[in-house]
Structure 1
Amino acid sequence: MKQFVTREHELEPVPGLPGTLPEGEHMLWQGRPSARLVARHVLKNRWIAGYFLLLAVWAVIGGFYDGRPLAGIVFSVAVLTALAAIVIGMLELFAWGVHKTTLYTITSSRVVLRFGVAFSITLNLPFKQIGALALADQGNGAGNVAIQLLPGHRLSWLVQWPHVRGWRFANVEPSLICLTDAKKASDVLALALSQHASVHSGHARLTQVGSGEGAHPGPPAVEAAE
């Protein structure tokens, strides 16, 4: 599988792509993760904020139980609040970096993921390497679109994170994460894959499943993911 590394996004001939599109290939959709959704669903900022809140409550209750002076209790809570602000601020900054440096592209023959906060990587996924899709709903049309690759195509979970489906270490599934229009993106990709498969029969076999666990034959569609 080819990977193209680009150092400066400004030098891209087409935003999100390592080069101009070949003749006959068309761009169908582009999008990027929402910083708010990345912070909430990937970095779990609400859970971390809740954890620090519990620590603060425990510090207050424990302080009164131990007979500590009010000033000491206030100081402990202030320290926990400052630590919480620093940690959550760093998470929010990283989520913003993911939003700014990531661009997903769906064309008539491939999916391209350009990502990387520390260093930029552009990953090409030709349709002939894609076996199935999975849509994880995050509410209000937002969610993730996971891409299941056909056997023989391996990726590094660590290199791809957070643009991967969670807990799929053995068979890594690159994902378009935290999209505000995930349903639209999955529909565009499913249709493009169907059209590509009808022209290049045998290159990819898509799977359609309903809201349950079992799969059944049918036209290309999107699996419901966890």
Structure 2
Amino acid sequence: MTPHQHEFEAAPGLPETLPSDERILWQGAPDAGQLARRVFHLPKVAAYFAVLIGLQAMHLAEQIGPTGELLLALVPALALATLGLGLLGLWCWMTARTTLYTLTNRRVVMRIGIVLTLTLNLPLRVLAGASLRELPKGYGDLPLALPDNARIAWLHLWPHARPWAYARAQPTLRCIPQVTAVAAQLTEAWRAAALADPAQRAAAAAAPALRPEPESSPLGGAFAGQRS
């Protein structure tokens, strides 16, 4: 589980050339629209600004007569709300544009960060578990549980972290399309990697196929999902 800070990529999303026996199974990035709604909560922030401006308009309407003067008085608040929503939307777009998730037959690689790029190498054989959180229209999250001896700060991961898991932060592939297909690929890649490890061979052989369920479980058992 190695974090790298870098400016150069040997290949898109990869800080170094893959070994000859390692291959890319899947690459993808978060969907900007889903990030805006599910992670940055842009519609809720917009509704919050709308309520504040509406309350201000009601207050000013008692003091200002003509509609033109009322609208003029609301210009500063409207400008600030537009600026705030614009910056939040830009942050969301840049997050989606600069993120690249890679699944190989040996590891998950997460290239994250807008200004300072951070690459996380997560070997499949050491992952403690994973889960599937399905979102509408085929999108979803894939949280990856780390072993007890590996810790990554939640703030270093966000927004690529499982929501509400602060004490034991879990790197998460956020808002990716065709999430069930990616989860199936991850399951098979883990099973293949575990079969090569004598200590995990029995668990890998017994691992069932992916099926969405209410709770998360170890990779040695199965993936599990949360619907929302």
The Cα offsets for residues 150-197 of structure 1, whole Å up to 9 and x where unpaired, read as 211111111111110011111110001111222222111111112222
Deviates more, 1:147-156 or 1:67-76: 67-76
Q: Is the 8 A contact 1:193 1:220 kept in 2?
A: no
Query: Aligned AA for 2:195?
Result: S
2:160 maps to: 163
Report the counterpart of residue 30 of structure 2 in structure 1.
33
Pair 1:68 & 2:70 matched: no
1:223 maps to which residue? 225
Contact preservation (8 Å) 2:130, 2:142: yes
Q: Shift in Å at residue 13 of structure 1?
A: 1.5
Alpha-carbon distance, 1:102 to partner: 0.8
Rounded Cα–Cα distance in structure 1 between residues aligned with 2:147 and 2:65: 64
- Going from structure 1 to structure 2, the CA distance change for 1:130 and 1:223 (only over 3 Å counts) comes to farther
Corresponding letter in the other structure for 1:186? A
1:211 corresponding residue in structure 2 = 213
Deviation at 1:107, TM superposition (A): 0.3
TM-score by length of 2: 0.87
Could you tell me how far apart the structure 1 residues matched to 2:116 and 2:220 are?
Answer: 40
Q: Does the residue aligned with 2:174 lie in a helix, a strand or coil? A: strand
In 1, Cα distance between equivalents of 2:85 and 2:72: 20
Change (3 A) 1:214 1:146: closer
In the TM superposition, residue 209 of structure 1 has moved relative to its aligned partner by 7.8
Cα contact 1:27–1:107 (8 A) shared by 2: yes
Alpha carbons 1:39, 1:45 under 8 Å: kept: yes
SS in 2 for 1:140: helix
Structure 1 residues 48 and 82: alpha-carbon distance in aligned structure 2, compared to 1, 3 A threshold: same
**Count of aligned positions:** 222
Give the TM-score taking structure 1 as reference length. Answer: 0.88
**What's the counterpart of residue 196 of structure 1?**
193
Query: Are 1:209 and 1:224, in contact at CA under 8 Å, matched by a contact in 2?
Result: no
Residue 17 (structure 1) aligned with residue 14 (structure 2) = yes
Q: Match of 1:46?
A: 43
Task: Report the equivalent of 2:6.
Answer: 6
Task: Report matched runs for 1:103-182 at 5 Å.
Answer: 103-182=100-179
CA-atom RMSD in angstroms: 2.5
Structure 1 alignment gaps of length 5 or more: none
Matched-pair contact (CA < 8 Å) for 1:164–1:172 = yes
Change (3 A) 1:225 1:155: farther
**Per-residue CA distance 1:23-79 (angstroms, 9 max, x = gap):** 211110000111111111111110011011112221222223x33233442124332
One-letter code aligned to 1:118 = V
The residue that corresponds to 1:88 in the other structure is 85
Contact 2:130 2:218 (C-alpha < 8 Å) held by counterparts: no
> Structure 2, unaligned stretches of length 5 or more?
none
CA distance 1:116–1:214, shift in 2 (3 Å): closer
Distance 1:77 1:157 in 2: 39
How high is the sequence identity, in percent, across the aligned residues? 30
